[in-house]
Amino acid sequence: MSRTPQGQRASLDKQPHEVAAMFDGVAERYDLTNTVLSFGQDRSWRRSTRAALGLRPGERVLDVGAGTGVSTQELAQSGAYAVGADLSLGMLHAGKRARPQVPLLAGDALRLPFADASFDAVTISFALRNVNDTDAALRELARVTRPGGRLVVCEFSTPVNPAFRTVYLSYLMRSLPVVARTVSSNPDAYVYLAESIRAWPDQAALAGRVAAAGWGRVAWRNLTGGVVALHRGIREKGPPLGRDNS
Ligand SMILES: C[S@@+](CC[C@H](N)C(=O)[O-])C[C@H]1O[C@@H](n2cnc3c(N)ncnc32)[C@H](O)[C@@H]1O
């Protein structure tokens, strides 16, 4: 963990205790900071995630890396039963205060506290990038999803237009940390955010990893020109996947 007078941030090897502590530090102002730094786009990205999941009333959906429950609350608009899980107790406590009606549990994406095939759909918004073993997390998401169930990963990605990509990367690396200093309770976390987005696989590379983890019919859709991508997949039928103990 690196510490500065402004706060603390995880390193790019994403040790779970560092990631959890970093999110504990941003929890209080997380929802507001998100909306400011994304120019309000986060709301439409969450609505698109809900739509891509095709949820029906009465279905069970798990939101992994739910944080303060802002993404989980959006899923519940569909009439599905939406439950969130997160590693950071600070984020969960802030979520309990802000949205007491949203069910939120402590849980690690790599060892989810649910039986095999418990959910009709699973989703993870802006959190897969923070898990230190992406492939194991995608397999663990498949384990808790019923055969034929759906996955949507909502994550920052690579803008498709080269000129826009240059402007966006400059915003990420130069302006975003400066703006974060004025709104966030832990601005250093937003330097990590910029670095982790830059190091993240592009749309095609992530699709390959989703498919390799037990998801079929993998496809993606770009939002805001590829600033964010929604990757979707269907849990392949076949023998249940065991928990990954490697
Ligand atoms: C950027 S926040 C996203 C929160 C919410 N999904 C949203 O859309 O605003 C990322 C969240 O992922 C959580 N996280 C990181 N690694 C995790 C893991 N291994 N298991 C569960 N949650 C994790 C963090 O604690 C943090 O709350």
For the CA of 20, the closest atom of ligand 1 is 25
For the CA of 31, the closest atom of ligand 1 is 9
Can you spell out the DSSP letters for 72-127?
A: HHHHHTTTSEEEEEES-HHHHHHHHHH-TTS-EEE-BTTB-SS-TT-EEEEEEES-
Which single residue is written with the structure tokens 């966030």?
Answer: 184
List, for residues 119-134, the tens digit of each pLDDT value.
999 999 999 999 999 9
Compute, in angstroms, the gap from residue 163 CA to the centroid of ligand 1. Answer: 30
- Check pocket membership of 75 for ligand 1, CB cut-off 6 A: no
State the Cα–Cα distance between residues 23 and 67, nearest whole angstrom.
8
Read off the pTM.
0.92
Task: Look at phi and psi of residue 40 and say left if phi exceeds 0, alpha if psi is from -120 to 50, else beta.
Answer: left
Compute, in angstroms, the gap from residue 128 CA to the centroid of ligand 1. Answer: 8
- Check pocket membership of 215 for ligand 1, CB cut-off 6 A: no
Residue with more model confidence, 32 or 49: 49
- Check pocket membership of 70 for ligand 1, CB cut-off 6 A: yes
What's the token pair of residue 154? 């909502």
List, for residues 211-245, the tens digit of each pLDDT value.
999 999 999 999 999 999 999 999 988 755 666 55
Compute, in angstroms, the gap from residue 126 CA to the centroid of ligand 1. Answer: 7
Do residues 95 and 69 make contact, with C-beta atoms less than 8 angstroms apart?
yes
What's the token pair of residue 224? 């805001």
CA 190 to chain centre: 15
- Check pocket membership of 189 for ligand 1, CB cut-off 6 A: no
What's the token pair of residue 33? 């900071």
pLDDT at 66: 98
List, for residues 84-140, the tens digit of each pLDDT value.
999 999 999 999 999 999 999 999 999 999 999 999 999 999 999 999 999 999 999
List, for residues 70-82, the tens digit of each pLDDT value.
999 999 999 999 9
Q: Choose one of 37, 63, 87, 153 to mutate for the ligand 1 pocket test, by most ligand atoms within 8 angstroms of C-beta.
A: 87
